[in-house]
Chains A and B, each alone.
Chain A
């Protein structure tokens, strides 16, 4: 693969991520609005933190892992499946990491970072391979 092709590939992957990150942003705003209306007695920053936590722990890691299936599934379907998949993976990994001695208080940071990184690496490699 030439340098030019490589850079086109990176650009393509980046463009997709950019486009879908904008979608995620829109869903975030919708979710925030829905939560603020439903939890109208809660202060805005409390709601914001909860919604941000949902996105950090479940939405973003799930989205990144589901990028592998971007050709078979459209964005919204990957988004929903990714959210529940991330809950499963994070819950299972947290159980085992805890048993191995890594205190659960670190998992809210470690596990999403790990899943996002793995998801993006696999996506990048798959994009590379398919070209």
Chain B
């Protein structure tokens, strides 16, 4: 009998693993792992991370940010938390995948692993609740929670996988030398996305506070916590001064009240719909057991509070925590179902849990959505979503051609393109680049003028400040001493080596204007078409600085 129970558990876990792989990366990636271009990238941030990982692959390390990421600044220190990028590069080498596929895979794969981490976190507290918690996690792979994947909040998502790992370590602090695991896991959180370490600290504070209130904290536990944090500090020692002098300086905490994540499809507590009933029961049951509160419950409460810290200055960081609410709060969901249904079944066993897990699994996976109108009774369920995203094969081929064919010091000018507003994708040319300001471009069309100079942006990544490290704790910020016009102002298009223009646009007038400028430029013998496909043309200017275009009206 025991054997049957154990096998049933493993069989169900295997089924859920398969379901998560299918509903998560399977559908999102169009049932392919390797693609011809960055697939299912929906925002500039996705490209930002992909390009940085690619730059690390090129350099062999993350000592510095690439020049084309940092506004042409040389020697700027690698300031982003490095863990995701290194995993992506290593996985790219091992699997043969391009970095743009490997980085996405790593993020979503460890999100799946963290579902099972959460399961093993809850299991010692209540095996049935652990089982019943599994289906809710499906919502993490569906809109709106899946914004974390689609819009490129990847370091945060990966850090949250480690955060669940850290909570598991805390739950097992009674094991021999387990502080080593906790220390490594906490550093992994900090080196994947440092702000999640703050949420980890909030969890520890709440956990310890409960123990102190109920006088269940002993010296040995305090020692283990201290050891874990000391290990974590030692591991992160090189990176922390970088973080303190870049991110902590540019984004210090300040009080703000932001109930809505404007411009972003955020996850809100109401998105749990009818499941809130189960969760409320689970929370009530957990509060009733406050004295001997299990780590999984303390963790659930911490992340529930953490997700509401947008009302207390945590802004985007609190909204990011909500991407994993379907995992964190699954403990209350599982516990709630168990508490509601248990009085009705005399001898609740693993078979009963399995039945309800499958029932809720089918319900949440959206199988019934096409049969019954689940929207009306507001049962949240998985919504299938698959699209190639922002990039397409034509732009990707052009960017690839640019990085493979241009001289290292060549500069590129991008005229208007529909997808160029997600400007981090332009870094795939791997050269310093400039982009025409669409407002000035549209004004020029309205004025019916072809110009030599347009208002131009120099796109780059200033997040966390571009810094040059001069000593262990000494940093310089080169952008501070440069004039603002260098980054946004009128620029002569004749001073660039390459000019990129799109032949097609959702707004045909803009594409026609691009082609008009292209035709004017090609009147000069020293300007030639260097690359062309159905959508993109790249012009090469062999006489930089010469009068490459005659200003006129049309």
Contact between A41 and B32, CB atoms less than 8 A apart = yes
CA A34 to CA B82, docked complex, whole Å: 30
A interface, how many residues as a size bin?
35 or more
Q: How far is the CA of A38 from the CA of B123 in the complex (A)?
A: 28
How far, in angstroms, from A91 to B175 measured CA to CA in the complex? 25
**Would B172 and A72 count as touching, CB distance under 8 A?**
yes
Fill in one digit per residue for B8-20: 1 if any A CB lies within 8 Å of its CB, else 0: 0010011001100
Residue of B nearest to A126 (CB): B176
Whether B175 and A88, one on each chain, are in contact in the complex, defined by CB atoms closer than 8 angstroms, is no
Known A-B contacts A57-B94, A95-B62, A104-B61; A38 and B21 likewise in contact (beta carbons under 8 Å): yes
Contacts A98-B62, A111-B90: A42 and B187 contacting too (C-beta < 8 A)? no
Residues of B within 8 A of A37 (CB): 18, 21-22, 26
Q: Which residues on the A side are within 8 Å of B61 (C-beta)? A: 98-99, 101, 103-104
B238 within 8 A of A: yes
Whether A46 and B33, one on each chain, are in contact in the complex, defined by CB atoms closer than 8 angstroms, is: yes
* B308 is an interface residue with CB less than 8 A from chain A: no
Which listed residue (B97, B109, B117, B191) contacts A80, Cβ 8 A? Answer: B117
Could you say which residues of chain B place their CB within 8 Å of the CB of A80? 113, 116-117, 120
Judge whether B187 and A88 touch: CB under 8 Å: yes
Q: When chains A and B are docked, how far (Å) is the Cα of A124 from the Cα of B60?
A: 35
Q: What string of 1s and 0s marks CB contacts (under 8 Å) between A83-108 and chain B?
A: 11101111110111011010111011
Quick one: which of B14, B120, B188 contacts A92, CB cutoff 8 A? B188
Alpha-carbon gap, A49 to B82, bound state (A): 25
Contact B86 A91 (CB under 8 A): yes
Do A42 and B34 touch (CB < 8 A)?
Answer: yes
> Which of chain A's residues has its CB closest to B181's CB?
A85
B125 within 8 A of A: no
Cβ of A9 within 8 Å of any chain B Cβ, yes or no, is no
Q: B493 to nearest A CB, angstroms?
A: 38
Query: How far does the alpha carbon of A75 sit from the alpha carbon of B524 in the complex, in Å?
Result: 71
Residue A50, interface by CB 8 Å: yes
Contact present for A31 and B17 (CB under 8 Å): yes
Chain A residues lying within 8 Å of B425, measured Cβ to Cβ, are none
Cβ-neighbour of B31 out of A38, A56, A57, A72 (below 8 A): A38
How distant is the Cα of A70 from the Cα of B398 in the complex, in angstroms?
53
Which of B161-169, B256-264, B410-418 is the contact stretch? B161-169
**Residue of A at shortest CB range from B82?**
A95
- Interface code B159-191, partner A: CB below 8 Å = 1, 0 otherwise? 001100100100010011110010011011001
Verify if A1 is at the interface (C-beta below 8 Å from B): no
For the complex, is A121 an interface residue (Cβ under 8 Å from B)?
no
Residues from chain B with a CB closer than 8 A to the CB of A101 are 61
- Asked if A28 lies at the interface with its beta carbon under 8 angstroms from chain B, I say no
Report the Cα distance A66→B87, complex, angstroms: 20
User: In the docked arrangement, what's the CA distance between A6 and B95, Å?
Assistant: 40
Q: Is the CB of B83 within 8 A of A92?
A: yes
B89 part of interface (Cβ distance < 8 Å): yes
Instruction: Please tell me if the beta carbons of A88 and B172 are within 8 angstroms of each other in the complex.
Output: no
Which residues on the A side are within 8 Å of B192 (C-beta)? 91
Residues from 248 to 290 in B contacting A, C-beta threshold 8 Å:
none
Across-interface contacts of B162 in A (CB, < 8 A):
84, 87-88
Contact across chains for B32 and A90 when beta carbons are under 8 A apart: no
Give the residue name and chain of the B residue nearest to A56 (CB): B94
Contacts of A104 in B (CB 8 A): 56-57, 60-61, 86, 89-90, 93
Assess the A30–B83 pair: CB atoms within 8 A.
Answer: no
User: Which residues of chain A in 69-85 are interfacial with respect to chain B, using CB atoms and an 8 Å cutoff?
Assistant: 69, 72-73, 76-77, 80-81, 83-85
Contact present for A77 and B30 (CB under 8 Å): no
Q: Report chain B residues within 8 Å CB of A90.
A: 86-87, 90
When distances are taken between beta carbons in the complex, the residues of chain A under 8 Å from B48 are none
Find out whether the CB atom of A98 lies under 8 angstroms from the CB atom of B60.
yes
Question: Is B203 among interface residues, defined by CB-CB distance under 8 A?
Answer: no
| CB closest chain-A residue, reference B17 | A34
18 additional contacts (CB under 8 A) given A34-B14, A87-B110:
A34-B18, A35-B33, A39-B31, A41-B31, A57-B90, A69-B178, A72-B175, A84-B113, A84-B161, A88-B162, A88-B187, A91-B84, A91-B86, A91-B87, A95-B191, A98-B86, A105-B93, A107-B93
Q: List 24 A-B contacts (CB under 8 A).
A: A30-B14, A37-B21, A38-B18, A41-B31, A50-B95, A53-B94, A57-B91, A73-B172, A76-B13, A80-B117, A80-B120, A81-B165, A81-B181, A84-B114, A84-B161, A85-B181, A89-B184, A90-B86, A92-B184, A98-B60, A98-B62, A104-B60, A104-B90, A108-B91
Shortest Cβ-Cβ A-B pairs, 7 listed: A38-B26, A88-B188, A98-B61, A103-B60, A91-B83, A53-B94, A53-B95
Q: Give residues in B with beta carbon < 8 Å to A.
A: 10, 13-14, 17-18, 21-22, 25-26, 29-34, 56-57, 60-63, 82-84, 86-87, 89-91, 93-97, 105-106, 109-110, 113-114, 116-117, 120, 123, 161-162, 165, 168, 172, 175-178, 181, 184-185, 187-188, 191-192, 235, 238-239
Interface, chain A (partner B; CB < 8 A): 30-31, 33-35, 37-42, 46-47, 49-50, 53-54, 56-57, 68-69, 72-73, 76-77, 80-81, 83-85, 87-92, 94-96, 98-99, 101, 103-105, 107-108, 111
